[in-house]
Structure 1
Amino acid sequence: MNNIDILAFSDELAPHFESINAQWINAMFILEDIDKQVLQQPREHIIDKGGKIWFAKHPELGVIGACALLNKGEGNFELTKMGVLDSARGLKVGELLLQFVIKEAVKMPVNCLFLLTNAKCEAAIHLYEKNGFVHDRDIMQTYGQSYERCNVAMRYAPQQA
């Protein structure tokens, strides 16, 4: 895992954001209009609104993972669009990315770090729980309608994990 580099967003890397996330979303769900907008224009929808995007790069496999923090205002950030290419599964890239993004979020003025997912994403939910996220009804009520597929909402609360 030490050979994985984490890279900050650049316009050159933007196409990877779309391809990595479209792969897993299409494999399990249907790309919704909001997905298409964010994935095709990450600078406009995430970076320019005070969010951040990072990529995981493997020395041989290239860019294999991505994750974003979407600024929802008032110090609330959604951990979103975390994906790893099928070809890189098993390398623990998702966990490395998740832990990196949590560390970065904690350095920022974040009041609430949350994520939205679907119960079908069992491995991801287990990873989130293992890294300090707890299920949260308030987050579901406030943000859950963002995606049709959303039926799980979690908030970062390391002291409760």
Structure 2
Amino acid sequence: MASSTSAAPQIVSCTSDHDAEAFRRINEEWISRLFTLTDEDRALLNDPRGQIIDPGGDVLIARRDNGTILGCVALVRYPDDVLELSKMGVTPAAQGHGVGRRLVTAAIRRARELRARRLFLGTNSKLGPAIHLYQDAGFTRITRDQLPVADYYARADILMELALT
């Protein structure tokens, strides 16, 4: 019998305080464990509606049929039809079951729906499985001077993008 974490999760936009709290909790856990939580992290995590959704981005939540939240990812809006794939996290119990892959696929689809022409991300060489996942999805490495933003996370030592047009 298959584990319930291996069943394809539903991936939906963040619509409730419960979803927003899960987005904050999942991201705070992994960021605090591997890096240092910054003021910029806290601003996004504490107010995903005001900082991400209302300005034209989205937060996607992966959940089981029973409502258990397995993971999340944000699409942060920038000028010129650019989105950042950001704050992707999967709960420890759900890791290794394809949730991250489904989140990335859903985020790319949603970025197209939001009419982005470019999707970029920053990651860290410590996150080997995530880097592989992004490469499999078609992201290619870029340099810091190719970023569409001037001030970007110092912890991001690998930068990638995906053209959507």
**What is the aligned-residue RMSD (CA, Å)?**
2.0
8 Å CA contact 2:63, 2:69 repeated in 1: yes
Which of 83, 86, 107 is the aligned partner of 1:77?
A: 83
Deviation at residue 11 of structure 1 after TM alignment:
3.0
8 Å CA contact 1:21, 1:81 repeated in 2: yes
Greater than 4 Å deviation, 4+ residue runs:
138-142
- Code of the aligned partner of 2:117: N
8 Å CA contact 1:144, 1:153 repeated in 2: no
Question: Structure 1-normalised TM-score?
Answer: 0.90
Aligned to 2:13: 8
8 Å CA contact 2:116, 2:164 repeated in 1: no
Q: Secondary structure at the match of 2:78?
A: strand
Question: Structure 2-normalised TM-score?
Answer: 0.88
> Distance in 2 between the 1:55 and 1:89 partners?
15
Q: 1:84 to 1:21 in 2, by over 3 A?
A: same
- Code of the aligned partner of 1:126: H
> Distance in 2 between the 1:144 and 1:59 partners?
41
Aligned to 2:53: 47
Within 5 A, what are the aligned runs for 1:72-111? 72-111=78-117
Q: Secondary structure at the match of 1:43?
A: helix
Q: 1:144 to 1:31 in 2, by over 3 A?
A: farther
> Distance in 2 between the 1:126 and 1:109 partners?
26
Deviation at residue 122 of structure 1 after TM alignment:
1.1
Gapped runs of 5+ residues in structure 1? none
The answer to whether 1:120 aligns with 2:126 is yes
Which of 137, 141, 144 is the aligned partner of 2:143?
A: 137
**Deviation by residue 1:106-158 (Cα, 9 ceiling, x = unmatched):** 23321211101111111101100011000011565543732121111100148
Deviation at residue 73 of structure 1 after TM alignment:
1.3
Q: Secondary structure at the match of 2:37?
A: coil
Deviates more, 1:33-42 or 1:148-157: 148-157
